[in-house]
């Protein structure tokens, strides 16, 4: 099991400790984390087109994206980017080499979905759908006379929004909205190779609740908008933890 009691801690619990054999053997927990900051980080990207050559995209800046998890569907996501320019190349121009296409299995939302947490506690209701959107509002490339490529990038300000659909069970989440409570919202997914990804809106407010009783013999669904605000301690908005 896992929990996220605050915006800077990820706890993994639930295993009985035993003596190591041999004694003092090394134990390694592998993981990494990314979250938004005020640093402008650009990438060099290229696309190989068979034996014809490459299209290269220097100065690529990621401006947003979305991650969608829904019952009956595989988890999907997309990212948007701005580049300084597009350039044709005959040879590999990257210092990192060409990466092969991914071969891993997709994340399914039966075995792959590991729970939704608010303030580090598991939400006691069944989740039907989660959508997260993040966008660098105001991000743009700027151009000047005398050059075809962009002269620089405007960083923009990150906004994190989304929606959640949950089978209605209690008024706990509705009361949270009425009390204007905020805190971290996290959900964890595991891919086919067993690698876990914890996506966290660091200071979330569940907004605009809509409790829908669709009709006879239909479940009652609670719909909420996810509003991400900067964390009062770190100033960050969105974070992804990866555990190998």
In this structure, are residues 55 and 47 in contact, taking their beta carbons and an 8 Å threshold? yes
Tokens found for residue 144: 């000047």
| Predicted confidence (pLDDT) per residue in 98-150, tens digit | 667 666 677 888 888 888 899 888 888 889 999 999 899 998 888 889 888 88
pLDDT tens readout for residues 37-65: 777 788 899 888 888 889 999 999 989 99
Q: Tell me the domains of the chain and their CATH numbers.
A: 2-15+64-78+104-243 (2.30.110)
pTM value surpassing 0.85: no
């Amino acid at each position: 099991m896992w929990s996220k009691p605050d915006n800077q801690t990820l706890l993994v619990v639930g295993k009985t400790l035993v003596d190591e054999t041999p004694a003092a053997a090394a134990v390694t927990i592998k993981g990494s984390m990314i979250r938004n900051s005020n640093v402008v980080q650009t990438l060099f990207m290229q696309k190989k087109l068979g034996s014809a050559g490459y299209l290269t995209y220097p100065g690529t800046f990621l401006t947003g994206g979305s991650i969608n998890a829904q019952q009956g569907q595989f988890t999907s996501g997309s990212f948007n980017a701005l580049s300084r320019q597009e350039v044709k190349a005959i040879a590999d121009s990257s210092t990192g080499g060409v990466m092969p296409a991914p071969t891993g299995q997709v994340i399914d939302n039966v075995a792959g979905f590991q729970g939704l947490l608010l303030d580090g506690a598991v939400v006691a209701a069944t989740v039907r759908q989660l959508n997260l959107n993040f966008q660098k509002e105001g991000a743009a490339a700027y151009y000047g006379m005398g050059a075809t490529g962009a002269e620089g990038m405007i960083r923009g300000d990150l906004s994190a929004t989304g929606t959640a659909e949950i089978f209605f069970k209690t008024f706990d989440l509705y009361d949270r909205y009425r009390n204007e409570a905020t805190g971290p919202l996290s959900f964890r997914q595991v891919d086919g190779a067993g690698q876990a990804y914890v996506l966290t809106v660091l200071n979330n407010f569940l907004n605009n609740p809509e409790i829908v009783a669709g009709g006879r013999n239909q479940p009652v669904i609670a719909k909420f908008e996810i509003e991400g605000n900067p964390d009062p301690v770190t100033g960050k908005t969105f974070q992804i933890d990866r555990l190998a």
